[in-house]
Structure 1
Amino acid sequence: MKLQEDGLKREIGIWGLSANMINIIIGSGIFVLPSIVAGILGPASIIAYIFCGTLAMFIMLCFAEMGSKITKSGGDYTYVETVFGKYPGFLIFMIGFVSRVCGTAAVANALVDTLAVVVPVFHSYTIKIIFFTIIFFGFATINVLGVKQGIALVKFNTMAKLLPLILLIIFGLNFINIDNLKWTTTPHFKQIGDASLILFFAYTGGPTGLLVGGEIKNPNRTVPRAIIASMIFLVFFYMAIQTVSQGVFGSQLSLQTATPLANVGQVIFGSIGFTIIILGTSISMFGNISGQTLNTPRSLFAVSRDGVLPIKAFQKIHKKYATPYISILTFSTLAFVFAILGGFKTLAIFTVAGALLTYASVSIAVLKFRKINVLNKKEFTIPGGAIIPFLSIITCLFFLYHLKKNAIINITIFIGITSFLYWSLNFFKQKNKY
């Protein structure tokens, strides 16, 4: 049973979807993580990258199966709503949508702060407003003009953010001191666990790239292939970055707390290397905003399409460009306003807990959907029966258990408020029928 929809153009292939997920996953965090992980594991840091990559793969394989079988737009929301109903679907939508709006606004502010290091004019509040206007509504315009244009921008941004890091890896090989890579001790499982609590989230974000499910070509093949290719690439890419950083700085890597990769760039390329990596950080943030502008509006479109959010305007598709233009403009406007106002960061504290709850929900949905879905050999099914979904659920519970109490409290409060909103909307919806 393949659930799909009409009205949107299926323009995204394997390369486009892979670039879409890589663009979302690789954020500014990778530019500082090498020193943090090295401070815990030293030369054995690559173990944590393999371990976390494996755990993330468990989760992403669950998304691969659901994305292969449920091919409508909306990603995690659509999977949960299809299997468990409108209320759980609405919770997943709200967690994801609010997190992505707040996260995008936060990234925009971080982008301006980073650019101000190189170009001081960005310290000006007026310049900041002009810059936000250009990027948010510029990206919105491109995405309204067509998903092909939106994914082309994502592909460009993905290559632009990868290029300085690839150059760092290639030229950095000549600067590696092999002695810096030798293990002096065998890491304990607790050390690997401590590093994983930080590093795991460098692999998350991929599910956002599946919100465009209704615009993916041959999703039963494209989704699993793109997910597996992206995750394998990320594991080796992260390991290469860590190896070069460790090889260059050795035990001193853990002391490069502020800008470790920029410092590596300075060693390899001279003073210009520092600037190149700082600009690479900016490009990474730039790419994240473009990716969110492509993907996040599709969840707003989907929740309106299904009548879960009773605002029909969000499900409108542009007659000429076949894009959910109202949803795109709404997302960009909200992100723009939040970016200008600031003071919203406390709203994003629940983001990590919300993501883990979403991943666990989709993993459980895999098991239930297998019972109600007619098996189709063309659709992707995770090998090994229930083993991978169970491992995915355990992974989510492990990281939820280790979150700080305020994160759990915040997500609980948010779920309470969202539940009240859902039942209120449902009450007025029913009342208007009579």
Structure 2
Amino acid sequence: MAKKRKGLQNGDADQKSIQSQESNSMNLKQQVGLISGISLIVGTIIGSGIFISPKSVLSNTGAIGPCLIIWAVCGVIATMGALCFAELGTMITKSGGEYPYLMEAFGPIPAFLFSWASLIVMKPSSFAIICLSFAEYVSAAFYPGCDPPVVVVKCLAAAAILTITLVNSLSVKLASYVQNFFTAAKMIIVIIIIVSGIVLLAQGKTQNFENSFDGAKITAGGISLALYNGLWAYDGWNQLNYITEELKNPYRNLPLSIIIGIPLVIVCYILINIAYFTVLTPTELLQSQAVAVTFGDRVLYPASWVVPLFVAFSTIGAANGTCFTSGRLAYVAGREGHMLKFLSYISVKRLTPSPAIVFYGIIGMIYIIPADIDTLINYFSFAVWLFYGLTIAALVVMRFTRKELKRPIKVPIVIPIIMVLISIYLVLAPIIDEPELAYLYCVLFILSGLIVYFPFVHYKVKWAQKITRPITTFVQMLMEVVPPEEKKE
């Protein structure tokens, strides 16, 4: 009997040892809960755009009525896209956003081209733009009445990128806490603007909404560009799919975060625009360089300084969310052998994909150097919808080719079909409306990834491995990182 009890105790000890080894395995941990998930969606979508330049939608519609309709339609499109991504994310529970879905549906080449375009241009340049917006708001307080020096703005933006990269490399929980804080901060300014607008409307200031459809410019090209600009402000609805492996209970928290987060953003965007139009005429709004600041100067004086302060909080929160998610794309691409292998390595002490995050931060720093990268962003932004459409098409394809996969969430097939058609429209409309060689250059850059793919990824030439092996060893020793362990099914 004593031997039997001793055997049971040894068995329990072995089981605890196995559990301990599993808990300490070198993989990303599920540390992001529902509140953090909602904060990540809301905090990444609501950046600087809605506070600084909603005039782009108005300029392409010509009147208040169609402008507000466009904002609502963009919200519906973002919601439908997010629901499609929720099915993909609960069907294929891998981090990396579009990357693993393209891999499963169409194979390695489309997945590689997505990671190539995203990691080299689209995401780091967007990261740089957000940090530059933050730097402009912060530095403006020290240079009243004149534009701050370019060097000051760029140094502040570089400091912001460095700080955000450091925070995300140190701890997943710390990055989540930072995201929650800045999301709460930006919701304060959102509430201030919305409540101010409601109070003014209650006082009878509705004259700007009279004949709100007069002067509307309803053309196919104008509507497409208005949708394009509105959807840019909503961009970020797919961010949780980049960190699926780190979500607690992803089958529940992924769809719940989307269902709560995106409608909250839609309501905020429409009410903020109504508040703007309550105070500013369409002409005044089009002439304003930063709409929220103009609104604050007229409504909140002498406390108008609150607006640029909280807009700065908003932009830095959006930058943190972008860094948090985009670093995971580099991590997954490295894990699949589509990027440098050390990008998939994990910090031994902190269990964060620190090489991928640092790589993302360095590329973001490079994009601060040019004098103007807004044009670059505009030309590459249509590529975002090219990959959105391709990814949602993957959902339709896998309904027929991968019927064995479990689908905890299954959206009606008509929704992904509509989203594919919308994506095609959004990709082709800007090119047809204003054809420029820059769009061709963008497509050629994306396809140039094939020059890298075949020798380095597909054929794995030996001399390339001889170059990368010492670099990988150096990164391992410098950052104390190791390869992720294979997950046992």
Determine if the TM-score, normalized by the shorter chain, exceeds 0.5: yes
| Residue identity matched to 2:181 | F
Q: How does 1:224-263 map to 2 (within 5 A)?
A: 224-263=255-294
Corresponding residue for residue 289 of structure 1: 319
Give the AA of the match of 2:45.
I
Alignment of 1:307-322 (within 5 A): 307-309=337-339, 311-322=340-351
CA contact (8 A) 2:53 2:290 kept: no
Are 2:37 and 1:17 aligned?
A: yes
Deviates more, 1:43-52 or 1:147-156: 43-52
Superposition map of 1:55-204 within 5 A: 55-97=77-119, 98-120=121-143, 123=148, 131-132=156-157, 134-176=159-201, 177-185=205-213, 190=219, 195-204=226-235
**Offset at 1:193?**
5.0
- TM-aligned CA deviation for residue 18 of structure 1: 1.7
* 1:120 Cα deviation from its structure 2 partner: 2.9
Relative distance call for 1:18 and 1:91 in structure 2 (3 A) is same
Q: How far is 1:21 from its partner?
A: 1.8
Letter in 1 for 2:136: D
* 2:96–2:332 CA contact under 8 A, matched in 1: yes
Alpha-carbon contact 2:128-2:367 (below 8 Å) kept: yes
Of all paired residues, the percent bearing the same amino acid is 23
Distance 1:297 1:171 in 2: 38
The answer to whether structure 1 residue 425 and structure 2 residue 456 are counterparts is: yes
Which deviations, in whole Å up to 9, do the C-alpha atoms of 1:304-350 show, x marking residues without a partner?
111222x2211111122211111112211222233245565565344
Contact 2:196/2:275 (CA < 8 Å) preserved in 1?
Answer: no
What is the CA-CA distance between 1:33 and the residue it aligns to?
A: 4.1
Q: Contact between 2:91 and 2:405, CA under 8 Å: does it hold in 1?
A: no
* 2:420 is the counterpart of 1:400: no
Contact 1:61–1:227 (8 Å) recurs in 2: yes
d(CA) in 2 for partners of 1:401 and 1:120?
A: 42
Give, in angstroms, the shift of residue 17 of structure 1: 1.5
For 2:183, give the aligned amino acid: T
CA separation of 1:291/1:251 partners in 2, compared to 1, >3 Å: closer, same or farther?
closer
Q: Write out per-residue CA displacement over residues 122-170 of structure 1, whole angstroms, 9 at most, x where no aligned residue.
A: 9467755653454223222222222111111111111222211211111
Can you list the C-alpha shifts for 1:228-278, whole angstroms capped at 9, x where unaligned?
2222111111110011111223455444432222222222211432x3222
- Superposition deviation, residue 285 in structure 1: 2.0
Q: Deviations over 1:353-412 (max 9, x none)?
A: 2110111011111112223142536x1111x2x200110011111111211433531321
Conserved 8 A contact 1:37-1:195: yes
Question: Would you say 1:389 and 2:416 are equivalent positions?
Answer: yes
Correspondence for 2:442: 411
SS at match of 2:404: coil
1:316–1:171 CA distance, 2 compared to 1 (3 A): same
Q: Matches of 2:133 and 2:275 in 1, distance apart?
A: 26
Match of 1:348 in 2: 377
CA distance in 1, matches of 2:342, 2:165: 17
Distance 1:131 1:262, change over 3 A: closer
Deviation at 1:41, TM superposition (A): 2.4
Whether the 8 Å CA contact 2:128–2:157 is kept in 1: the answer is no
Given the alignment of the two structures, is residue 29 of structure 1 paired with residue 43 of structure 2, yes or no? no
Q: Distance in 2 between matches of 1:321 and 1:212?
A: 16
In structure 1, C-alpha distance between the alignment counterparts of 2:209 and 2:370, rounded to whole Å = 46
CA contact (8 A) 2:96 2:243 kept: yes
Deviates more, 1:120-129 or 1:323-332: 120-129
User: What residue identity is the alignment partner of 2:197?
Assistant: G
Offset, 1:184 = 4.9
| Runs of 5+ unmatched residues, structure 1 | none
Supply the RMSD in Å over aligned alpha carbons: 2.7
Deviation at 1:50, TM superposition (A): 1.6
TM-score scaled by length of structure 1: 0.89
Whole-angstrom distance in 2 between the partners of 1:287 and 1:343: 23
- Structure 1, residues 287-313: CA drift from partner, whole Å, max 9, x if none? 22212221111111101111222x221
- Counterpart CA distance in 2 for 1:210 and 1:170 is 33
Looking at structure 1, the residues matched to 456 and 378 of structure 2 have their Cα atoms a distance apart, in angstroms, of 26
Amino acid at match of 2:439: I
Greater mean alpha carbon deviation, residues 323-332 or residues 32-41: 32-41
Per-residue deviation at 1:109? 2.5
CA distance in structure 1 between the partners assigned to 2:275 and 2:372 by the alignment: 38
CA contact (8 A) 1:34 1:245 kept: no
How far has the Cα of 1:430 moved from its partner? 4.8
Q: 1:152 to 1:339 in 2, by over 3 A?
A: same
Describe the shift of the 1:268–1:348 C-alpha distance in structure 2 as closer, same or farther (beyond 3 A).
closer
Counterpart of 2:367 in structure 1 is 338
Which residues of structure 2 form unaligned runs of 5+?
1-24, 466-489
Contact kept? 1:44, 1:183, Cα under 8 Å: no
Q: Secondary structure at the match of 1:280?
A: helix
Q: Which segment is superposed worse, 299-308 or 104-113?
A: 104-113
Q: 1:325 aligns with which of 354, 367, 376?
A: 354
Q: Distance in 2 between matches of 1:419 and 1:215?
A: 31
- The CA distance in 1 between the partners of 2:357 and 2:110, in whole Å, is 24
Stretch moving more, 23-32 or 211-220? 23-32
Tell me if structure 1 keeps the 8 A contact 2:168–2:174.
yes
Q: Distance in 2 between matches of 1:44 and 1:167?
A: 25
Larger deviation, residues 35-44 vs 141-150: 35-44
TM-score by length of 2: 0.79
Task: Give how far 1:63 is off.
Answer: 0.9
- Quick one: distance in 1 between partners of 2:297 and 2:376? 37
Question: Is the alpha carbon distance of 1:134 and 1:218 closer, same or farther for their aligned partners in structure 2, counting shifts above 3 Å?
Answer: same
